[in-house]
């Protein structure tokens, strides 16, 4: 068990180092998220009630679209240079190694969105409870986007149109995450309990975390055969 966790950590560290050498990929995702969210207050105007009403949906849709930007490249670079084959031939379970890659992807593309979301939420006039719920919902929901995206990226590995196919596969699967995530923020902003929405997000995250990496591993093996 310790050896598998160590192997997953090595894969994660390697992917993070690769991203640090090419910081534009991570910056593009964050910049896209900031621009999309910031455009709505500028376009709608200073109507506080309307901004608060649309804030949960706007932030969550922007987070979903921003996460799509880097999904197609999750395995593409390793597939192109042959290092993905070495990962498959490693003595450790491929699903564990894929989990390390997915975690690295979330740390680069999902975690920064969670950190900056409260600052963007202030543009919509959200109160402290709604901002806290925004952070919690994104922290539970964005890992699901990475996990489902890993399966889609593995299924389209090696295809020329993978950049188009990945969003087509992932977006319908992420509709429940979008509904529950924005619903949690909306409930907190309305003074209601957001626990049911968070529970449903957690229920969606658990099977995604348990089965997502292994499903992606099977798809990778098929693509390399």
Full-model pTM: 0.90
For 49-84, b where at least 16 C-beta lie within 10 A, e where not — what string?
A: eebbebbbbbbbbbbbebbbbbbbbbbbebbeeeeb
Encode pLDDT of 39-52 as tens digits. 988 888 778 888 88
Q: Over the chain, what is the mean pLDDT?
A: 86
Q: Please list, in sequence order, all residues whose beta carbon lies within 8 angstroms of the beta carbon of residue 71, skipping any fewer than 6 positions away.
A: 105, 146, 149, 150, 152, 153, 166, 167, 170
What pLDDT, on the 0 to 100 scale, is given for residue 1?
A: 67
Q: Is the pLDDT of residue 56 over 80?
A: yes
Six token digits for residue 70 = 């880097």
Q: Is the pLDDT of residue 85 over 70?
A: yes
Residue that wins the pLDDT comparison between 83 and 101: 101
Question: What is the Cα 89 distance to its own chain's centre?
Answer: 27
Delimit the domains of the chain by residue range. Answer: 2-224
Q: Is the pLDDT of residue 20 over 70?
A: yes
Q: Is the pLDDT of residue 184 over 90?
A: yes
What pLDDT, on the 0 to 100 scale, is given for residue 221?
A: 86
Encode pLDDT of 98-147 as tens digits. 888 899 889 988 899 999 999 998 888 888 899 999 999 999 999 999 99
Q: Where are the alpha helices (DSSP H) in the chain?
A: 2-21, 24-44, 48-71, 76-81, 83-88, 94-109, 111-121, 128-155, 162-173, 175-189, 195-224
Residue that wins the pLDDT comparison between 167 and 60: 60
pLDDT more than 70, % of the chain: 98
Q: 162 falls in which pLDDT band (50, 70, 90)?
A: low
Q: 92 falls in which pLDDT band (50, 70, 90)?
A: confident
């Amino acid at each position: 068990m310790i050896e598998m966790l160590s192997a997953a950590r090595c894969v994660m560290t390697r992917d993070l180092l690769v991203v640090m050498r090419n910081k534009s990929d991570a910056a593009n995702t964050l910049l896209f998220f900031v621009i999309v969210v910031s455009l709505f207050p500028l376009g709608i105007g200073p109507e506080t009630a309307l901004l608060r009403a649309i804030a949960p949906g706007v932030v969550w849709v922007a987070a979903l679209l921003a996460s799509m930007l880097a999904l197609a490249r999750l395995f593409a670079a390793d597939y192109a240079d042959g290092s993905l084959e070495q990962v498959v031939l490693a003595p450790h379970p491929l699903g564990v190694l894929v989990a390390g890659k997915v975690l690295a992807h979330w740390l680069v593309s999902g975690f920064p969105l969670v950190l900056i979301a409260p600052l963007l939420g202030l543009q919509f006039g959200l109160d402290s409870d709604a901002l806290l719920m925004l952070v919690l919902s994104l922290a539970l929901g964005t890992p699901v986007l990475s996990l489902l995206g890993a399966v889609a990226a593995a299924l389209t590995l090696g295809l020329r149109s993978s950049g188009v196919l990945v969003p087509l596969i992932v977006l319908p699967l992420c509709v429940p995450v979008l509904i529950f995530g924005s619903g949690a923020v909306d409930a907190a902003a309305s003074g209601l309990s957001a626990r049911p929405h968070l529970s449903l997000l957690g229920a969606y995250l658990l099977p995604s975390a348990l089965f997502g990496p292994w499903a992606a591993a099977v798809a990778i093996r098929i693509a390399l055969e």
